[in-house]
Chain A
Amino acid sequence: GALVYQYPRRTICKSGTSMRMECQAVGFQATSVAWYRQSPQKTFELIALSTVNSAIKYEQNFTQEKFPISHPNLSFSSMTVLNAYLEDRGLYLCGARTGGAETLYFGSGTRLTVL
């Protein structure tokens, strides 16, 4: 079946530093990857949608300068949180889908704590 793995599961970084998280699709081709953030006590906000061989589309309030994303092939994507601060803490999920399918399969997320 379609599986999505995210690394690391949890991470702690100091305020002002950066951290990188990865997303691996297994069993299907991740044509598109959507990165979401769930801030404490909130729902999921879309950060950006990445499609292989296309430009990455960032949502309002999220920028490439802050959340650079790499999607080099059909099984892997990574996102970096640059200059992380308290408001960046939360659970970061990647959801991947294949071709024209509508369903996103989500990983277990990377939980970011900023000290």
Chain B
Amino acid sequence: GEQVEQRPPHLSVREGDSAVIICTYTDPNSYYFFWYKQEPGAGLQLLMKVFSSTEINEGQGFTVLLNKKDKQLSLNLTAAHPGDSAVYFCAVSGGGNYKYVFGAGTRLKVIA
């Protein structure tokens, strides 16, 4: 079945710097990709959903890139601020079965 590797597990950056989190998946038929943010004690907040037909996706303060050739999904936070400190999870779905496979998470700390 699908496996998702997420790295790095921990990331510390200074305010204003960029932060990059990468997920590598195994199933070439994966079609839907998601990034979620989990703040302390909270559930999952959807940051962005990406479909396999779109390689570059821009959100507010971040960019999500999908490289289907290498089966990689990346989240690039530009100009990180302390409010971005949280655990970030990628999720991959093959479609049809509606089953999400989550990465292990990246704990991001943004230092003021």
Please report A residues at the B interface, Cβ cutoff 8 Å: 6, 32, 34, 42-44, 46, 49, 91, 93, 95, 97, 102-109, 111
Contact = CB atoms under 8 A, between A and B. Distances in A.
B105 A107 contact: no
Contacts of B49: 102-103
Given A43-B105, A102-B93, A108 B98 contact: no
A106 B99 CA distance: 14
Interface residues of B, number: 21
Given A102-B32, A104-B98, A105-B46, 5 more contacts: A43-B104, A44-B102, A102-B95, A106-B36, A106-B43
Contacts of B31: 102
Interface in B46-96: 46, 49, 89, 91, 93, 95
Interface in B8-46: 31-32, 34, 36, 41-44, 46
A34 B100 CA distance: 9
26 contacts: A6-B43, A32-B98, A42-B104, A43-B102, A43-B103, A43-B104, A43-B105, A44-B44, A44-B89, A44-B100, A44-B102, A46-B99, A49-B98, A93-B43, A95-B44, A97-B98, A102-B93, A102-B98, A103-B34, A104-B100, A106-B43, A107-B43, A108-B42, A108-B43, A109-B42, A111-B41
A105 B46 CA distance: 8
Mostly, the A contact residues are strand
B49 to A, nearest CB: 5
A106 B98 contact: no
